[in-house]
Amino acid sequence: MSILKKKDGVFMDSGNKNRHNIIVLCCCIVCVIAVAVCIVVFLSAGKNDSEAAAKDKVVAGIADKKITESQFKFFARLILNQEEETVRELYSSVEKSDKDEIKKYTSNFANEYLVRVYEAEKAGITLTADEKASLEKQFEEDYAKNKKTDEGTLTKEDFYLYYYGISEKKYKEFWTNWYIIDKHTSFLESKADVSEENLQLAFIEYYDYLYSYTTSVIPLSVGADDTKEAVKEKAEGIAAQLRSGADFVALLKENCTDESLIAKNGVTDFYPAYKEVYSDIYDFVRTSEIGEISVIEAEGVFYVVRLDGIKDFEKLKGTEEMLKWTRTFYVNKTVADMVSSDKYKYKVEKTVYDAIDLSSALQEAYAYWETIWEGSK
């Protein structure tokens, strides 16, 4: 399926701005057949839910396709394993947690997942023999790698309940369907209307990820043996040299160890999506003239930044990048129309839904993300 991806580079988007995605929270599943995607978070989750999985009740469904409690919890953990900012917001907000916002997200996910399965079937999308074999191979590798626990070796039946909280059949069915959904997305993209009107609509929709300021950047980190004042003074010295006509690439190589940045001669696109974390840099690029240079501190790094240019719609509209985003826009709109139409009746079993408690899943996810946050400090 089409995923809105964060841009690579020196500046990274701080938050989850990808809510435009279809299959609402499905920036959560970036790799269609990443079979072991959530094993870290699920290590205790499956153990807690294995008994409940044995007496699975239907939570929701569309016609003959149903989502059971174990599948619903599995979906929730998929979401929480990828939705970093959602976890942060829900865990820190008693009000949101009390309202079980994650259940709403999960229900939306389930609804869109089922619609996509129906639409893929309708379009005649299936897996080839090689694709099925590749998927099965990954299932087998997942089992072989993780079947041994402190309590002994898990049978296949117990393996999926232990780690994922759902049966082997349901687990494999989900990833098989997801692979088919991904192929259906490619099918929809091949039919996308990439007229100038849709190019403009896509540009407006994804403005934060398309409009950009081309910059040349030399980042200077404050090391354990450095003082902020000394690093800032060094950065100001580099900026002064640049204003006097010094060669940018030479100064970059002299003062930067980031090989990927050096390979690009320091050129980095700055997107509005970065403005929350890098607000001072955003203020600089949007208010400066081409060629201006400044030293800006952000998140413990001093950046020597030169504004080199701007990429707006007129510069982007003939590019492959703009076409890709327009295809994403087309697919997202098409799927949104499918989900909101009267064609599919998504029915929730309210009593079962209300009884589901996802607090442990949220706590597990928060503990997982805490290790990531601590490690990045």
Domain boundary assignment for the chain = 26-196+322-375, 212-311
pLDDT value, residue 9: 53
Q: What is the mean pLDDT of residues 24-51?
A: 45
Find out whether 322 and 203 touch, Cβ atoms under 8 Å. Answer: yes
pLDDT value, residue 4: 29
Tell me the percentage of the chain whose pLDDT exceeds 90: 65
pLDDT in tens, 307-337: 999 999 999 998 999 999 999 999 999 999 9
Amino acid identity of residue 63, one-letter, is A
Res 164 pLDDT > 60: yes
Cβ-Cβ contacts under 8 Å for 36 (sequence gap 6 or more): 142, 145, 146
Lowest mean pLDDT among 22-36, 153-167, 205-219: 22-36
pLDDT value, residue 59: 97
The answer regarding whether domain 212-311 maps to CATH 3.10.50.40 reads yes
Res 373 pLDDT > 80: no
Cβ-Cβ contacts under 8 Å for 258 (sequence gap 6 or more): 10, 219
pLDDT value, residue 224: 81
pLDDT in tens, 58-95: 999 999 999 999 999 999 988 888 777 777 776 666 55
Distance CA 235, CA 243 (A): 12
- List 305's β-bridge partners, or say none: 217, 294
pTM for the whole structure:
0.76
With both helix axes pointing from N to C terminus, report the angle between 168-190 and 101-122 in degrees, rounded to the nearest 10: 70
Lowest mean pLDDT among 89-103, 242-256, 271-285: 89-103
β-bridge pairing 152-153 and 346-348: unpaired
pLDDT value, residue 226: 84
Place of tokens 């999506």: 273
Find out whether 274 and 281 touch, Cβ atoms under 8 Å. Answer: yes
Res 354 pLDDT > 70: yes
pLDDT in tens, 123-146: 999 999 999 999 999 999 999 999
pLDDT in tens, 165-221: 899 999 999 999 999 999 999 999 999 999 999 999 999 999 999 999 999 999 999
Res 353 pLDDT > 60: yes
Res 49 pLDDT > 90: no
pLDDT value, residue 21: 39
Res 51 pLDDT > 80: no
Dihedral of the alpha carbons of 23, 25, 28, 30, in degrees to the nearest 10: 40
